[in-house]
Amino acid sequence: MADKNKLTPMMQQYQAIKDQYPDAFLFYRLGDFYEMFNEDAVKGSQLLELTLTSRSHKSKHPTPMCGVPHRAVQNYIDILIDKGYKVAICEQIEDPKTAKGMVKRAITQLVTPGTKTDAGADNAKNNNYLTALSYNDGKYGFAYADLSTGELKVSTLNSDDSVLNETLSLQTKEIVLGPKSPKKIVNLLQKVGILISHQDTVDIKSEMSYLLQGIDSELERDVLNRLLTYILNTQKRNLSHMQKVVEYQPAHFLKLDHNSQYNLEINKNIRTGKKSGTLLWLLDETKTAMGGRKLKRWLNRPLINKEDILQRQQFVESFLNNYFERSQLRESLTEVYDLERLAGKVSFGSVNGRDLIQLKSSLNQIPKLKHVIGELDSSIFGDFYKKIDPLDDIVDLIERSINEEPPISVTDGGVIKSNYDKQLDKYRDAMKNGKHWLAELEQKERNITGINNLKIGYNRVFGYYIEVTKANLAKLPEDRYERKQTLTNAERFATPELKETEALILEAQDKSKILEYNLFKEVREIVKDSIQRIQELADLVSSLDVLQGFATVSEDYHFVKPKLNDNHDLEIIDGRHPVVEKVLGRQTYVPNSVLMNADTNVLLITGPNMSGKSTYMRQLALTVIMSQIGCFVPAKLASMPIFDQIFTRIGAADDLISGESTFMVEMKESNAAIEHATPNSLILFDEIGRGTATYDGMALAQSIIEYVHDNLHAKTLFSTHYHELTALDKSLKNLQNVHVGATEKDGNLVFLHKVEKGAADKSYGIHVAKLAGLPDKLLERADNILVSLESKDKTLNHSDDDTKNTNSTDNYQLELFKQQNVSNDEFDVHVNEQNPVLEEIKQADLMSLTPMDVMNLVYKWKQEINK
């Protein structure tokens, strides 16, 4: 970088502003372009694929630079924001024509991943949350806001895991931290790719006090003030659309951590990362963007209050039973634009004429919508009907003031209707008559001079002029024509009459634009006074949108209203996985029942791979979620309790963020359920123990089943390939065996996809390998090995005596540790000398340890043995 003392005044100004925003790209306005310099230019040209040039070419240290046109700047800003960067927008804050010396410039907005408000069509149904965190005495104040809609919420969280779960569930891209944030949580947030921003100071301003009413917790008030300070500092604009903060407790909703949301594909498809193929995709029959966002919020926070669930069921049932009213409602909703984000634009001052026309068009649908609601059962929809405010005064204002097809710009004229303001009409009349006057003057001068090609024109430099070709100059009278400009083939003149007409026209044009813009701002301010009314209406409309969507989906896919019971019974007759059914088609999908009365807490599921065990488990979880958001469910009949938490361990994958193996991920997710589940929770464990050696895995699987059965009493589905575990139904009274049926036909495996009582008789692993297309020679060899292993197993387990069977298994396990041609005595000595693991196992007091401690010990021993 060049010496600051040798910089030009402009570059000194640039550098002074850049020094205030070192972590952001500085878009510096110069005329019709935003320019970047130095490191910003080098990096920006690469990210935005711009041509990199330089200033001061003759200098030993030329300044790298690149730029983007101001009319296309939003596209370039969006690219940088989507890549996780910040952009500081620097504008000219005084007119260059009146500036004395260097034009004053200042940052008018800092755009960041969490403060981006222009969602675009693809993200219209997604919130963009900016989150904030304050820490004190082991607890976190956690707040989040969506600047485009004004949503503002706060909570107190008690652990790092809770913070991580909330941020990932909200899909936030940026979090604002205070000075005391623990390094551990900072590292965790950085690992998952969340942009860390810092707001060390807190400015408590008057506009914040209203938003924080009702919040007594000092920690929550601190994090809210920190978040709002950051927003005000970066946005530098009016935030009157921010809604009064809502305090929430995660415990007031069904707890579904981000791992469970991922495993169950609630919002995002595991394979594609897209919405398609998810529960959200299936349920989204909303007609508005704000309805789509509310559906997503409801999905991420299912209810646990019975009365609230039953109320939503009533709404859905009423819509389901009133097809014509629902169809009319859907038709009206199709014409409703995003009221929440339109209110945000009004508050920001970024709303234009077309936005106000969208607002008017949306509000014009509200009377129709209200009429439809009035036709439904008043005992169910009466409260909705009373609260719906059509905002007739706002509709009337926009109808009188704004042209139906206004230009995008609000400063170039053409936005305000005629007959709205008398003075504006006078200016417009002057401009209209001015053109007529010029045409008459042109004809008059032609008649006086006899020059038929004489014409009156206009340019920005000389204004209006009379143009005469050089061949006709001699015909001009000398007393009235004043030369203004000489061209190659013509001369341009002015006359006293032309000057007078020009003054009238230009004054009307200039004053007309200024007046029209001021009138538009007045309209905008009146609308701004009604922002809270618009937001309240948006909340009602979006709720109706989601509820009618539930009714539509329930009708299309033959869902039923679930009964909610208090006696811990789970009875789902012919349940289906709704997403898989939609993909396969209803005729193809095989339904399955889930029957777990109050005395049954564990279903142990066996069956071959690809037979549908995981689908069976997932369909239960999705049914629970659908029930507790108030939707009907995919079944012939359903009666179920209300669950407080869902824990899942489905699928095998290493945790690339923490660098942990599949087995360690299994153990951690298992421990989360063991530590936090209650009798009202739902636990889904798929193939626990497969990430380690066979006997380790089997031992862990059995101990987990026993612990869940004896201590947690939660409804649990546990699938396994360890057929030995099916004998547990003899010792665990609240456990039942079920299996997914399969049969052999002509040497081939046929999946029945039907869950039946009892344990599976075979695993059919080699048959599944055959379906996968492995070579016949390989499969024949696998068959031979299987026969040999089964024969050996029978030899080892020849006695029916339980003690002998246990000893035989132990000896078989020890074969793993033996070295060839080494006797048992020699082996014991060798192990004690070379590997202390067995001695540590002998000394361990396992009965005094928690299940997680035992799991960690087993994992540690396995790692040492593998060395």
Confidence of residue 57 (pLDDT cuts 50, 70, 90): low
Distance of alpha carbon 110 from alpha carbon 118, whole angstroms: 14
Q: Is the domain defined by 284-391+531-556 classed in CATH 1.10.1420.10?
A: yes
Q: What is the pLDDT of residue 762?
A: 61
CA distance 271 to 784: 36
pLDDT band at 842 (very low <50, low <70, confident <90, very high): low
Give the count of beta carbons closer than 10 Å to the beta carbon of residue 739: 23
Pairing of strands 682-686, 645-649: parallel
Residue 723: the pLDDT is 85
Please name which of 80, 165, 89, 82 lies closest in space to residue 131, comparing C-alpha atoms. Answer: 165
Strand partners, 755: 740
The residues pairing with 88 across neighbouring beta strands, listed in sequence order, are 26, 110
The CA-based dihedral angle spanning residues 165, 168, 174, 180, taken in that order and rounded to the nearest 10 degrees? 10
Predicted pLDDT of residue 399: 97
Q: For residue 24, how far is the Cα from the chain centroid?
A: 23
Q: pLDDT tens digits for 174-186?
A: 999 998 899 999 9
The CATH superfamily assigned to 572-774 is P-loop containing nucleotide triphosphate hydrolases (3.40.50.300)
Instruction: Please report the DSSP string for 269-293 in residue order.
Output: -TTT-SSTTSHHHHH---SSHHHHH
Instruction: Name the band, by pLDDT with cuts 50, 70 and 90, for residue 668.
Output: confident
pLDDT in tens, 482-520: 999 999 899 999 999 888 888 888 888 888 999 999 999
- Those residues with Cβ within 8 angstroms of residue 494's Cβ, 6 or more apart along the chain or in another chain: 464, 465, 466, 481, 482, 484
Whether 793 has a pLDDT exceeding 80, the answer reads no
Domain made up of 4-111: CATH architecture: 3-Layer(aba) Sandwich (3.40)
- pLDDT tens, residue by residue, 64-94: 999 999 989 999 999 999 999 999 999 998 8
Do the domains 284-391+531-556 and 422-524 sit in the same CATH topology, yes or no? yes
- Distance in angstroms (rounded) separating the CA atoms of residues 178 and 230: 11
Per-residue model confidence as pLDDT tens digits over 375-401: 999 999 999 999 999 999 999 999 999
Q: Given a cut of 70, is residue 785 above it in pLDDT?
A: no
Burial class (CB in 10 A: 0-12, 13-18, 19+), 143: buried
pLDDT in tens, 804-816: 444 444 443 334 3
Nearest to 594 by CA among 721, 715, 705: 715
For the segment 397-408, the average pLDDT, to the nearest whole number, is 96
Distances, alpha carbon 590 to alpha carbons 281, 585, 617, 755, 867, in Å: 21, 10, 14, 10, 47
pLDDT for residue 363: 98
In the predicted structure, residue 764 carries a pLDDT above the cut 70: no
Contact in structure between 736 and 604 (CB atoms under 8 Å): yes
Return the CATH fold of 122-252. Nucleotidyltransferase; domain 5 (3.30.420)
Q: Is 582 annotated as a binding residue?
A: no
The verdict on pTM exceeding 0.85 is: no
Q: Which residues of 405-421 are buried (b: 16+ CB within 10 A; e: fewer)?
A: ebeeebeebebbbeebb
Confidence of residue 853 (pLDDT cuts 50, 70, 90): low
Average pLDDT over residues 193-217: 88
pLDDT at 760: 74
Residue 286 — pLDDT band, cuts 50, 70, 90?
very high
**Residue 803: its pLDDT value, please?**
41
Q: Residue 821's pLDDT is what?
A: 45
Grade residue 623 by pLDDT with cuts at 50, 70 and 90. very high
Question: What pLDDT shows up at residue 654?
Answer: 38
Q: Where are the domains of the chain?
A: 4-111, 122-252, 284-391+531-556, 422-524, 572-774, 776-809, 817-867
Q: Tell me what pLDDT residue 8 has.
A: 87
Q: Is the pLDDT of residue 265 over 90?
A: yes
Residues 555-578 have pLDDT tens digits of 999 999 999 999 999 999 999 999
Per residue, the 3-state secondary structure of 562-609, as one string, reads: CEECCCCCEEEEEECCHHHHHHHCCCCCCCEEEEECCCCCEEEEECCC
The pLDDT score that the predictor gives to residue 190 is 92
The mean per-residue pLDDT over the stretch 629-645 comes to 98
Instruction: Identify the weakest region by mean pLDDT among 19-28, 181-190, 602-611.
Output: 602-611
Report the chain's mean pLDDT, rounded to a whole number.
87
The verdict on whether residue 664 carries a ligand-binding annotation is no
Q: What is the pLDDT of residue 844?
A: 67
- Backbone phi, psi, residue 679, to 5°: -60, -15
Cα separation, 235 vs 233, whole angstroms:
6
Task: Give me 475's structure tokens.
Answer: 């015909």
Give the mean pLDDT of 642-652: 85
Residue 740 exposure: Cα atoms within 13 Å on the Cβ side: 27
How large is the average pLDDT for residues 27-39? 94
Side-chain-side CA neighbours of 527 within 13 Å: the count stands at 33
| Alpha-helical runs (H) found in 410-490 | 422-449
Long-range contacts of range 496-503, CB-CB < 8 Å, 24 or more positions apart?
Answer: 497/441, 498/441, 498/456, 498/464, 498/465, 498/466, 501/434, 501/437, 501/438, 501/441, 501/464, 502/463, 502/464
For residue 609, say whether it is annotated as part of any ligand binding site.
yes
Mean pLDDT for 823-833 is: 44
Structure tokens at 146: 């969506």
Q: How far apart are CA 707 and CA 77, in angstroms?
A: 54
Token digits for 627? 């029930």
Average pLDDT over residues 156-185: 93
* Residues facing residue 256 across a β-bridge: 646
Distance CA 866, CA 826 (A): 21
pLDDT > 70 in the chain, percent? 85
* Fold designation for 422-524: MutS, DNA mismatch repair protein; Chain A, domain 3 (1.10.1420)
613 assigned to a ligand binding site:
yes
Q: Give the pLDDT band of residue 796 (cuts 50, 70, 90).
A: very low
Which of 734 and 772 is assigned the larger pLDDT? 734
According to the model, what pLDDT value does residue 851 have?
59
pLDDT band for 608, please (50, 70, 90 cuts).
confident
At how many degrees (to 10) do helices 366-374 and 323-334 cross?
A: 170
Distance CA(462)–CA(456), nearest Å, equals 12
pLDDT at res. 379: 95
| Nearest to 715, CA basis, from 731, 735, 689, 730 | 735
Residue 608 annotated as binding site: yes
What's the pLDDT at 691? Answer: 59
Mean pLDDT of 97-121: 87
Least confident of 239-248, 368-377, 824-833: 824-833
Question: Is 153 part of any known ligand binding site?
Answer: no
